Amino acid sequence: MISPSSIDRLVCFDHVTELIGRNGIFEHAKESHPRLEHGYSLDDNGRALVIVARANACGIDFPSRSRNRCLWFVLAAQEGGWKDRQTTEGVWNRSASDDAIGRAIWGLGAAAACWPEELGRERAKEALLRAVDFDSGWWRPVAYASLGFLAYNAVAPNQGAAEAIARLSRKLPLGRRHDDEWLWPEGPLRYDNARLPEALIGCGHALDDPKLVSEGLRLLEWLVETEMGEHGFSFAPVAGRFVSHRKPSFDQQPLEAWAMADACVRAAEVTGDPGWMVPARVAVSWFLGDNDQRAGLYDPRTGACCDGLTAEGMNLNQGAESTLAALGALLALRRPVDAP
């Protein structure tokens, strides 16, 4: 299992900066090479803002030209109504999904709290506060957005952000109360699952609502137990996992390990219980080979991460989502910028 003292030597931004083009971070890669024809997405540029902010909080420099391109992408995507994908020529080709907007708000909140330059912090704050009325009928975008408002409000208490946290917290689902075997509020475990307990714990702490904190901890404890396998975490695959499914199942996504690490670190901070750092470190170790295939997805020499764990081994493509997930999980063990 990974030790806290090993984090600094594992964090490397070489590959993520290779993925960043003129307008932001490219979404996909063919092995280690950016797929320019697939262009940029709002999701990944929002995630990139979280990584830059966390690195800055840890005293780790992220190249300025690259980081600012990701910020300008998100700011441009918000103008005139949220847009999602952009070609290398700068042409926007569709409106953004709720998930993408939620992740962008998360990134803006982290940037408003801890961007390396004051101008970037100001621009991110202005964009974040323009998004205080964001709403969705799905819990994942609600959770992402709440994490953004929590990040900023923890550093600079703001009435608009506080009201957004309170409103969004009421849209987060609670776990089932009459089924001891399957506490999850959805039928299957789908994707980015640990973001729900993380948001419940964070919102409950910010709002001084012990019920929300308790519910988040209850769901997180259940999720840790449900997702644990023989060699570490055995995460729900991209197709989802139902109560009847056995482990292991594939394809497992790096996004799950990042979310689990973040949620457990937040639980440790809010409760003061260092025991939560054990599953946090197990989640990070998933990237380094403590997984169902005993395969190291993350390459500390380049900072690249493979796109998933398959039944045959690793998906050798190293796109933005996976690489950012690995870096986010590693930095969560150092000093998470977006925890209260």
Summarised one tens digit per residue, pLDDT across range 226-285 is 999 999 999 999 999 987 778 899 999 999 999 999 999 999 999 999 999 999 999 999
How far is the C-alpha of 261 from the C-alpha of 330, rounded, in Å?
8
pLDDT tens digit sequence for 32-73: 999 999 999 999 999 999 999 999 999 999 988 899 999 999
Per-residue pLDDT band at 183 (split at 50, 70, 90): very high
The CATH number covering residue 328 comes to 1.50.10.10
Query: Looking at the domain assignment, is residue 338 inside a domain?
Result: no
Q: What is the mean pLDDT of the chain?
A: 94
Q: Which residues contact 27 (CB under 8 A, 6 or more apart)?
A: 35, 38, 39, 40, 41, 43, 44, 85, 319, 320, 321
Q: Is residue 339 part of a domain?
A: no
Contact between 295 and 252 (Cβ < 8 Å): no
What is the pLDDT averaged over residues 193-218?
98
117 belongs to a structural domain? yes
- Looking up tokens 């901890």 gives 217
Q: Range of 114's domain? A: 4-332
pLDDT at 151 over 80: yes
The helix (H) or strand (E) run that includes residue 185 is none
Asked if the model's pLDDT at residue 1 lies above 80, the reply is: no
pLDDT at 178 over 80: no
What distance lies between CA 159 and its chain's CA centroid?
Answer: 25
Judge whether 151 lies within some domain: yes
Q: pLDDT confidence of 337, banded at 50, 70, 90?
A: very low
For residues 132-158, average pLDDT: 97
Share of the chain above pLDDT 70, in %: 96
- C-beta separation of 40 from 19 below 8 A: no
48 occurs within a structural domain: yes
Q: What does the pLDDT average to over 163-183?
A: 88
Indicate the pTM of the whole model: 0.95
Residue 339 predicted with pLDDT over 60: no
Q: Prior bond to 248 cis, omega within 30?
A: yes
Let me know if residue 47 belongs to a domain. yes
Condensed to tens digits (0 to 9), the pLDDT of residues 69-125 reads 999 999 999 999 999 999 999 999 989 999 999 999 999 999 999 999 999 999 999
Q: Number of C-alpha atoms within 13 angstroms, CB side, residue 126?
A: 12
Position 187: which residue type?
A: G
pLDDT at position 258 is: 98
Q: Is the pLDDT of residue 338 over 90?
A: no
CA 79 to chain centre: 24
Question: What pLDDT is recorded for position 4?
Answer: 61
Confidence of residue 3 (pLDDT cuts 50, 70, 90): low
Residue 340 lies in a domain: no
Percent of the chain whose predicted confidence (pLDDT) is above 90: 89
Please tell me the total count of domains within the chain: 1
337 is a domain residue: no
Q: For position 245, what pLDDT does the model report?
A: 77
Look at residues 222, 278, 232, 266 and name the one whose alpha carbon lies nearest to residue 252. Answer: 232
* Per-residue pLDDT at 80: 94
User: Considering only CA atoms, which of 126, 80, 138, 127 is closest in space to residue 104?
Assistant: 127
